[in-house]
Structure 1
């Protein structure tokens, strides 16, 4: 008879179920919470790109009418004899163009091509058409292109009319007018948007294009991209462009894979707990079998039987564990992959497609996130320019030294030439300067498999400014001529045989160029495919006029004796902050957690407290609230590496006067203290 299984084995088995089940549930809940934002971001990005494509298609067709009008003007009207031949060519080249007509300055349709089906329009007097003549006359006399609303034509059918005025020596001579129906070209653009529905209305609200039955598609405003397309000079007469998911149940359907994955995860968690329980039973059974074997040693026959039984039990145990391990590991690996890719929206992917995506994403995930965040800050307009004292030449040498190991590992030669006799110190945004150099240098390393990389630095002083010229030249794959003007666009990568070999999100050069322009500079590039590229970075910085030491002396004379407390559970951070304060003539007491900070603040009335946020016992927010209850005049400044908007808002709400981010440099520290305790800012809370 088996012994009774101890209760601890039941608890262990329960934990073996609850831990993986909780992990699966937490991932599921996070995915479900993030799904609306993912879908909203997807619709906004797709809508923005689609709207640009649609607008560009219209502009290209309108330009064809412009070209015909220009040829008539350039020949002082002689081209009227050949306009039909040109119109025939335009009809062939521009699918959306259905006919071309000439309207006299009096508003009479003089001629039209082709005449078949359009003949009834010849001789039509548009001055009698109130909905047509007013815009035609007003804009033509101003020399502006006019695009009508979606009209029903006298010869039958519907079309937009594009009026381009013709002038001879500043005298109005009528218009070249094209009838256009963009549906066929719009359908071709929408071919790759089969999961989306599109509707476009003219300025009167008349729908003239509908793809994938927009009125039956997703109706939630959060998942609808809505914008105005301005097509001619009158910004009040714009088209209304809307894009949404064709599937009205996109949110529910996106959760199907997640629900399935959660179910499988819970089932596997149960199997793990059950396996642990059976394994405990098996260990007890094996132990009892061995004890029985010892008792039957005096009887040879029974001994052999018990020995054989023990061997069989041991073999069964090994096979059981091996089989169960295989059965569990296989679906566990699958669930990790499914969880990572759940909600992809593409049920046609094969297993190898998921695996390939997983392998690639693990390498590029961190770099891409960093670039988007940067792109998000760029496009939202929240990019700030810091003013920090640094030597550009020294920073460049440090960056090149940092990348030297990678360059040597690839077997490349590295040359650095620094033309700077004095190594000028400037005031500017060091972080953005480093980002520009890092992005360009990393590209040179990535696309160079043999040869060398040459970095040259030059600086000169012009009108109290330092003008920098930094050249990074490589012998890599080079850039095709047709791509040279596109490499600074977002998400653009070289379409060559090495495209799949080199990873990246196509944001590095875009961000580098933007940051260079932000710093009053630019980036130039010359390249020859197969021979290499050269990127030249031109930047301008203000010379450092007042040395930091003089600033500190001025600050020391201006500040009173300050009682300061530095709070941080990381001893190294406390040491760094204390040394920075010491350099500007200030002393700080130290607290290593929130409780100690509160106790010291109650025992001593501090003028200024630097408060860390994440601490083990009492966090910085709670400690600030407790301190401000009794020390309302004490200035508390948050100092943390957590730069999320929620943390900043909570810090201000808890009573912090300011929220600083780590690492804080000496100049920023001086400026902050001067703001609150300088002669003109004394007692500011």
Structure 2
């Protein structure tokens, strides 16, 4: 039996299947060749613009390092001048571009230079003898502007840029902090990400001081060269010429060749498609198999569609969350910057309590948002730990309600607190997480309640040295739709999201609270009617139940403390100032040390009663310093003080001999409690 010949229609269809892809390939090839020059030009302009910004930021970062030294000198009206060389030494270690730092006095004489041995030949050099140098130096210094010289041959040998930062105090110009900088190493690091490009940088006199990937051998067509002037100091006529182009001189030919290869592949692909269609006409007997396969594919597509919809919903929620978080962070940040600008433009407003209050409130909002993000990240990554400290849940509830009562009443809401226990029970558990759970749920009620009332009910049940707690927070707010109840504890989910949202906040409060409850082995429930309000019920259990007299905190610490010798050990000057002021308000005077080694030396010559010990410091860290001090003075009270709140750091601090571990910013109430516990005066005896 002979096989029937194929009809002419089959040949025509196979021809169409060949010609259509071929025409598409030719069209795309023609379009690519036409757009290639513009694409390459756009690519070089974008890459050059980004690279130029990176190079400029590198220079500005190094200039900012020199500014830090001048600002410290100016802020202390010259008192800090005797320490500037130590800062200069640290900058030389931290900044690869910085080769030396020197101080030029108001008369143009180089008084000091760091490091000295390599640069001793310039000690005492009078730059007035250098015509090209002194005039430019004097002009920018009098204008209080930063000056960057051209690529300069140095007296002590080598080449460098000289960067002058003027120093003003006591109402007059005192000289400049001047750094010698060679940016080759840092520029090479930036250029390592630009292997396909060649770079050339020249100073204002046309001297090339940086070249990457043999710029002279790179392609030379102006269309593919990015050129920009990097203005780095106050003199707009003194700028660097930055040029970037393709390192491959044949880049256009190479790109076009790739398109040729793609066209050839497209022709073969079109031919293959035509042949496949031709052979498909001879394979009609596989129709049933194909139909079955198609049925299976439909089922798979349905499942894929379901997964896609789930992923799109999650992606949309995440995108909405990120958009909202961007707005929430920018709002207080813009306020802080704006207020700072107002205070800078009008010094009299610096002491205005309204501006201080606005700065404080917006800073707290910003800190709260950042803390929520960090907590959520830590909980999601599984890095969160449950700590065990002694505390009274009733006292924590009382503190929380007292703290939020004013805010609730300012909104015109009634606030009902029902503490259904008269005993003062103490347990061992994670006080911080307990406080955060209750605080987050209460803040959520405050946020979404515009009228009516908020109620908090706390219950305890004791059983076999265990304490079972139930906290109910009920409001008359907007409520939660039934279809949203199952998702309110999900991350990236908010009831009122988008650009028309009415309530501020990052939307992480409930998600964090729910995860903390689960982490502590409890559970959280919610009941709600849309438009009528919501009730959140939290169940948490704690071990090691016991009773004791709770220390009551007050601000009259001076009456209860004997005179104390206090030492603050911290390498951050601002932290020292803040803690010193806090101690003054508590009636305590203090001394300071800038690192652990200096603290040990001071303790060897003087006996202290109380030491606040930072952890991360140069020369000797807080752990080692504590061990050395405790070896000589075992009775001194050492309080660790750090922004590092990891359990590992806390454990290491206590093992080193620290009596307690405080975190920055300092909790004043906790500090008062510790001082009362360690230094409370014995009761006065009355003579009989």
TM-score (norm 1): 0.42
TM-score (norm 2): 0.42
